[in-house]
Amino acid sequence: MKRVADRLVIAGVGLIGGSLALALRARGVVGEVIGLGRSAENLRVARRRGIIDRTERDPERAGRGVDLVLVAVPVQAIAPVLGTLVAGLPANAVVTDAGSVKGPVVAAAERVLGESAGRFCGSHPIAGTEHSGAAAALVDLLEGRRCILTPGALTTSPTRRRVHALWEAAGMRVEEMPARAHDRVFALVSHLPHVAAYALVNAVADADRAGPRRALAYAAGGFKDWTRIAASSPEMWRDICLANRDEVLAAIDGFGAAVERLRVAIAQGDGAALMAELTRAQSTRRRLGTAPATKAPRLRARRGARRSRGR
């Protein structure tokens, strides 16, 4: 397979940045990988696990001589982090990100890059777990999963091709989508489920405080399956909710209306209405099929032996 980068900088060597580096290294399609980050401890883990070759504390120096940059930090930090790197970047360096929100991220990245905005193409790899940091990175996390690219009007064709090749080299199925369409779709199928899972956990914990017996002590498959994603990074999800505010609010409103239809049917003892709502959801869900297969990670992560996949 062809090399995708001679020197790659990963700003934010966490679950996504770390997993991409592991996948590229396993396939031998990347030269040197430089890690840029916030805490020295996470970068030490990345180094120890062989995710990166070296770390660089000074962002401007990190950018020198690189031909590809991935910014994989929480969404609101993407443009500011890119801003610290940009002065050191050679003219031929291509830049992408991994943010779960695209419209505002692409716009902010283009503002930061100014005249060289053609070198940027937004990405969102549709893969993940509820774990964070370099310790959670998995060599096959991205394999066989979708990656959505959201090239802007300024993105050049060579940039687009390089970013396609980057994710494809990690085994991903790449497709393109306008950033606005992306943000609406993922507000519904990713951001809303996370908000709902966090809310469900809090609702049950709050009710628990009032009750004589701890309900959470009896939480089993249904509760744990639905709320697994509420163990995700609050920092990451704060940023996603705020960056995609309007779409997330619209999704929450739609969800609220659906819950209210169920509440009214239950309150009125309206079995027919309840059956109609439940049957419609059952057939929609069954048409979706099962979640993507979860393969055992080939590289053992530092924390936790078993990890669930999928967003």
Question: Which residues here bind ligand NAP, judged by CB under 6 A?
Answer: 11-17, 37-39, 42, 72-75, 77, 81, 98-100, 124-125, 128, 132-133, 233, 236, 240, 311
Say which amino acid occupies 155. T
Q: Which is nearer to ligand NAP, 134 or 265 (CB)?
A: 134
Query: How near is the Cβ of 209 to ligand NAP at its closest, in Å?
Result: 30
Query: How near is the Cβ of 267 to ligand NAP at its closest, in Å?
Result: 37
Q: Which is nearer to ligand NAP, 18 or 151 (CB)?
A: 18
228's tokens: 């697994």
Q: Which is nearer to ligand NAP, 73 or 265 (CB)?
A: 73
Query: How near is the Cβ of 40 to ligand NAP at its closest, in Å?
Result: 8
Say which amino acid occupies 157. S
Query: How near is the Cβ of 207 to ligand NAP at its closest, in Å?
Result: 29
Distinct helix (H) and strand (E) counts, the chain: 12, 8
Residue 255: count other Cβ atoms within 10 Å of its Cβ: 16
| SS3 category, 290 | coil
> On the CB side of 271, how many CA atoms lie within 13 Å of its CA?
0
Q: How far apart are CA 24 and CA 10, in angstroms?
A: 12
DSSP state of 190: I
Q: Which is nearer to ligand NAP, 43 or 94 (CB)?
A: 43
Residue 306: count other Cβ atoms within 10 Å of its Cβ: 8
Asked if 18 and 45 count as a contact pair (C-beta separation under 8 A), the reply is no
Q: Which is nearer to ligand NAP, 63 or 128 (CB)?
A: 128
Q: What are phi and psi of 54, to 5 degrees?
A: -155, 165
Q: Which is nearer to ligand NAP, 197 or 265 (CB)?
A: 197
| SS3 category, 297 | coil
First to last CA, the chain: 29
Query: How near is the Cβ of 42 to ligand NAP at its closest, in Å?
Result: 3
Query: How near is the Cβ of 277 to ligand NAP at its closest, in Å?
Result: 30
81's tokens: 């982090």
Query: How near is the Cβ of 217 to ligand NAP at its closest, in Å?
Result: 28
Query: How near is the Cβ of 280 to ligand NAP at its closest, in Å?
Result: 29
Cite the beta strand spans of the chain per DSSP E: 5-11, 30-36, 54-55, 68-71, 94-97, 120-125, 146-150, 173-176
Q: Which is nearer to ligand NAP, 75 or 113 (CB)?
A: 75
Q: Which is nearer to ligand NAP, 26 or 77 (CB)?
A: 77
> On the CB side of 135, how many CA atoms lie within 13 Å of its CA?
12
Q: How far apart are CA 205 and CA 221, in angstroms?
A: 17
